[in-house]
Structure 1
Amino acid sequence: MKHKFYVIFILITYVLLSSCERIKDENTNVYENILTGKHIELEMVSNFIIEENSNQFIGTFLFVKHRMGSLVLADYLNPILFFIDKTNGKVRKIIKFKFGKGPGEVIKIGSFEILNDKIYISDMGNFRWSVFDTSGNFIFTARPFSDLPKKINEKQKGKYVGNGNIMDIYENKIYNCVIETEYNRDLQQQNSKAIAILDSSLNIIKVFGRYDKIFGEVKSYFINPQITISEDGYIYFTQAPTYRIYKYDKDGNYIKTFGVKGKFRIIDKDIPSNLPISEIMTRTLQFSVSDAIFTFKSFVLHQFLDRTEKLYETRDLLDNNYYLKVYDKNGNYFQSDIKLPGWLMTVDNDGLLYIYEKNEPGNRQIGVYRIKLVDDL
C-alpha cells in the first residue's frame, strides 16, 4: 500500500513539474531568427471606395473578416453586418439585427464568425452570444463562459471571462480568447490560460495556452489578445503589450514562441486602470501595441501600432501609425517592420491585404496590396 501511494505521489509530482516546465517554456524560450538576403515590400494592386447611401450607411467599424467571398464589416454603433464586394466596394448584402435585450436581439456586436451557414455574434451589450442563419434568422443564444458545461468538470461557474472580440474558426470549431477570472488582475494575467475551443453549439471543449510574461512585470489592463489559424490548423496567438507570438497545433498543444522586437516599443511603465485618463493617454504614447495577426500560405503577418497625440484629439483610428512584421510559419523573420499606409483590416485566401486608408463617411477608401519577397541589393 505504501508503495502504491509512493508511486502516485511521484506521478503527481511529475505532472506538476511538467506543467510548470511547459509554462516556463512558453514564457521564456523565444525563437528569434532573422533571415538574410531578402526583405519584404508592399505592392499596391488596386483600391476602391465603399459605396454608401442613406439606406446603407456605415457608422463605426472595428472588426472586419473575409468570409463568404466578401469583406464583412461589423458596425460598432448599430447591430448590422455589411457584406462588401472586395473588388469594387459595392454593398452585396446587409443583415440588420433587431436592437434590444430579448431573444434574437443584439445591442452591440463585439465580433462575429460565420461557420457552417451560421453567424455567431458576440454581443458586448448583452454579454452573451447569439447565433443566426446567414439570412439573419435567430437560432439560439448562449453564454459559454458564464454557464460552463458540466462535462469539463469545473468546480466554479464563470471561471473564464470570454474575450468575444477575438475569435477564429477551424474544422467546425470556434477558437476564442479567454482569461481565467482568478487571474484577471494586475500582475496575475500571465498565469491564466488564454484560448478556448468551442463546438458549434458553443460548448467548451478545451482551454489552453498562456499569457505573456510581460503581464507579470508591469501592471497593464491592455490585454487585447489576437489569434489566427492557418489553413493547415496551426494557431498563432499574441497580445497587446508584446511582439512575441505563441504557436500551437489545432488541439492546443504548444509548439514554440517566436518573435523579433525590431521597431516594437515594449511597455516599461505600469498602466493600472485607476490612473487618471490624462496620465493613461500620456503613457500609452510611449509603447507599441500588437493589433492583429493573420496567416496565408507560408506567411504570418503581425500588425502593431504606435499611438499619436492626434489620435486622442480626433478619435480616428487612422491617426495611429501602423507597422507590419512578416514571418514564415516556423517563426523565421523576414526583414520588414514596414510602415503601412493605414490599418490592415484583413487578408483574403489569395494573400491580398485590405488596408483601410481613408476614414471619411461616403468616401471610405480601401487599398488592396500584396507582399513581395525581394532580394537585397
Structure 2
Amino acid sequence: MKFAVVFLTWLLAFPAVAQKNWTASCLTNMSQLDDSFPGDLGIFVKSLKDGSICEFQADKRWYLASTIKIPVAIALLKEVEKGHIDLQKKLTLKQSDYVDGAGDLLWQDPGKSFTVQHLLRNMLEQSDSTATDMLIKLMGIETLNKTTHELAPDFAPLTTILQVRYDAYSEIHPKARTLSNIDFIELKKFPVSKRYEAFVKRIQVPTSELKATSIEEAFEKYYARGLNSTSLRSFGSLLEKLSQGQILNKKHTELVLTYMQKMKTGENRLKAGLPNDILFAQKTGTQVARMCNVGIVTSKKNAQQKTVIVACAEKYLDQAGAEKALKKMADALTEEGAFKNF
C-alpha cells in the first residue's frame, strides 16, 4: 500500500514522464512494422499537449502525392487574408483544366463556374485534382512555393498535379510533354500494368528511344528528383502551426480543418486504427508505389488535446497492403496509449 501511494505521488509529480512512456514502445513497434512490410514505412507523431514525440524515418524525404493539397490550401488562404484573392470569386472551368484523379469537377461540363471556396472544399474533401490545379493557377506556382518555403523551409518545390504527369512520363520519353491533359486522363483509364504500352502507342516513338521500361521505373526516376517532397518532421511542424492558429486567422484555420475532417478518402488508412471518440482532420495522397496520410487528431472532450500524425509508405507491392500497414501503425499508437487521455 505504501508503495502504491509513493508511486501515485511520483506520477502526480511527473505527469509528463508518465505520459511519454508510449513513445518508447512506439519506436519499437514502428520498426517491427517496417521490417515486416515489403517496402518502407515512416511516421512522425507529436502530442501537442505535452510535446511527446515518436518518429521513425522522419528525417528522410518522402514523396507527398496529394497531401501537398494542404500547403496549397494554406497558401491560397494566406492570399485571401492579404486581400489578393476573394473566396467568392468565380472561376470558369475550361477543357484544359481537367486533371485525372479524384473529384467531381472532372465530370462537370466546360463553361461552368465555381467559387474559389467551392474549389477549396473540393480539393480538401474530395482530393479533387482539377480544383487543385485551378487554385494553383489562380495564385501562381511562385506564390505557392514562396509561402510554403517561408512556413516550412524543408519542403522541396511543389508543382501542379498535371505537371507531375509530364515530369514522370518524360522519364520514359520527352515526347510526353507534347501530350494534352486529356491524353493523361485517357491513359489513367488503363491499369498500371497496361499503361506503359498505351503511353508508348500514343507517343509513337521507336522502342530504342525509350529511357524507362515500365511506369514504375519512370516514377521511381521522377521521385529521385525530389519534387513535391519533404521530411515527415517538417510536415508535422506545418500541421502543428496550422492547428495552433499560427498560420491563418481563426476563421480560415477552422475552415481548413473542417474540410479536412470531412475528407472522403482514406477510410482504410490511419483513421481505421484510431479511437472512435476523436476528430481526425486529415489528407491522403497516393501515387505509383507511394502513399501518405497526414492529419491532426483532436479529442472530442478537450479541443486542446491534439496530436499530429504524418505517415508514409513507399516501394510497396500493392496499394491494399500499404493501406493495411498505415492502419497497423495507427493501431499500434492506439494500443500504446498515445490517445489514452483523449
**TM-score, normalisation: structure 1:** 0.23
Structure holding more helix per residue: 2
Q: Which has the higher contact order (CA 8 A, sep 6+)?
A: 2
Structure holding more strand per residue: 1
